[in-house]
């Protein structure tokens, strides 16, 4: 009898090779904490052609024979479309999203799956999140939550030692596959971000806040953090002891995926404007306008793309407006995550 696939690990890859190989092996090892053949890793690769050809030599292709590893080719670059393509191909009851340059924490995947199993009767479950840390930091610096008290995009806050409600966070996250894809009574996926193949930006906030507006809830799972691994931008120490971070400017650089710009059909970070419009209308765009400019002006001319962002998000905004149980303003006022799960 064929074993049920409990969880599908979803990885969108854009021009990662060695780091992707580490991530895939880390995920496969982490799946060994579950019953045999109950997990799979799906890579949707949207790399440049010469990078894609390298994957045959760097990935553990032997796992493709038993169905543990599945590699899908998306010929055009796009983070959110690639994730949704992988999710549609997944066989697992749950999907767990990882970056293409991560290490899985000790028993992280098993703990996330166990959390979902233990709460399987809770119809309000949206996303469950493992904390995340970075390879240049100690594990105690991991983060589990976003603080939306000063900015709706959220700034990194803290992690928790007990399971509790949180605002939102990026990956690693786990959720029910059928809920993520459900356009009638579930999340409805990335919406406009995937539909229009938008470049990096706004996706984590979009699908992090969207569940709350639809009546679902985000949870923190107390487990070992996922570790974000390099390569990182070059860091230099100035004479005055300040830190200078430089990104490779050569468009042919092998590090260009770290620039977030070689993906999608739009300027990098446009997704933040689109997500703001979908989630809270032009009022939310206006409240976050200066914050977006401060953080992302090197990538996006906010004023020039203001109305274009609204045009892109109009269809999904109408979808969300017809289904949401509270507005973004009501969410900020009620702060339902402060219930700590009670």
What domain range is 268 assigned to?
Answer: 1-337
Can you say how many angstroms the Cα of residue 321 is from the centroid of all Cα atoms in its chain?
23
Name the domain count of the chain: 1
Longest dimension (CA), the chain: 66
pLDDT in tens, 262-283: 678 888 889 999 999 999 999 9
Q: What is d(CA 234, CA 246) in angstroms, rounded to the nearest whole number?
A: 5
CATH code assigned at 168: 3.90.550.10
- Give residue 232's Cα distance to chain centre: 19
Domain assignment present for 58: yes
Model confidence pLDDT, tens digit, residues 312-340? 999 999 999 999 999 999 999 999 999 75
Percentage of the residues of the chain whose pLDDT score is greater than 90: 72
C-alpha dihedral sign at 274, 276, 279, 284? negative
pLDDT of residue 257: 46
Mean pLDDT: which of 53-57, 233-237, 252-256, 333-337 is highest? 333-337
pLDDT band at 308 (very low <50, low <70, confident <90, very high): very high
* pLDDT level of residue 15 (50, 70, 90 thresholds): confident
Which range has the worst mean pLDDT, 58-67, 173-182, 313-322?
58-67
Residue 16: inside a domain, yes or no?
Answer: yes
Measuring CA to CA, which residue among 180, 176, 142 is closest to residue 159?
Answer: 142
Full-model pTM = 0.90
CA distance 128 to 126: 7
In order, the DSSP letters of 241-258 are: S-EEEE----TT-TTGGG
Of 298, 305, 297, which is closest to residue 273 (Cα–Cα)? 305
Encoding tokens for residue 84? Answer: 């949704």
Distance CA 117, CA 73 (A): 31
In a domain, 342, yes or no: no
pLDDT digits (tens, 9 = 90+) for 95-130: 999 999 999 999 999 999 999 999 999 999 999 999
Structural domain contains residue 178:
yes
Question: What distances in angstroms separate CA 184 from CA 87, 89, 119, 125, 132, one per listed residue?
Answer: 17, 20, 22, 16, 31
Exposure of 103 in the CB half-sphere (CA atoms within 13 A)? 12
């Amino acid at each position: 009898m064929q074993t049920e696939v409990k969880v599908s690990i979803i990885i969108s890859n854009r021009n990662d090779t060695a780091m992707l190989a580490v991530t895939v092996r880390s995920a496969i090892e982490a799946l060994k904490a579950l019953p045999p053949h109950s997990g799979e890793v799906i890579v949707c690769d949207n790399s440049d052609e010469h990078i894609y050809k390298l994957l045959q030599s760097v990935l553990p292709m032997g796992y493709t024979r038993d169905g543990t590893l599945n590699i899908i080719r998306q010929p055009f670059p796009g983070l959110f479309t690639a994730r949704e393509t992988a999710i549609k191909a997944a066989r697992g009851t749950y999907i767990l999203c990882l970056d293409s340059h991560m290490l899985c924490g000790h028993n992280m995947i098993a703990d996330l799956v166990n959390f979902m199993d233990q709460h399987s009767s809770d119809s309000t479950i949206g996303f469950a999140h493992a904390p995340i840390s970075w390879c240049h930091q100690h594990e105690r610096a991991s983060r589990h939550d976003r603080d939306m008290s000063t900015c709706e995009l959220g700034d990194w806050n803290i992690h928790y030692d007990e399971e509790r409600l949180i605002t939102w966070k990026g990956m690693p996250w786990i959720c029910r596959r059928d809920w993520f894809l459900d356009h009638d009574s579930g999340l409805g996926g990335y919406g406009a971000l995937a539909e229009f193949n938008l470049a990096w930006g706004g996706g984590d906030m979009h699908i992090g806040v969207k569940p709350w507006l639809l009546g679902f809830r985000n949870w923190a799972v107390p487990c070992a953090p996922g570790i974000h691994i390099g390569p990182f931008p070059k860091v230099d120490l100035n004479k005055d002891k300040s830190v200078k971070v430089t990104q490779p400017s050569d468009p042919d650089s092998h590090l260009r995926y770290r620039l977030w710009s070689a993906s999608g059909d739009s300027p990098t970070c446009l997704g933040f404007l689109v997500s703001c419009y979908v989630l809270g209308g032009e009022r939310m765009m206006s409240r976050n306008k200066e914050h977006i400019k401060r953080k992302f002006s090197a990538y996006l001319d906010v004023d020039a793309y203001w109305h274009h962002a609204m045009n892109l998000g109009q269809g999904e905004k109408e979808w969300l407006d017809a289904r949401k149980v509270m507005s973004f303003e009501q969410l900020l006022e009620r702060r339902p995550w402060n219930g700590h799960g009670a």
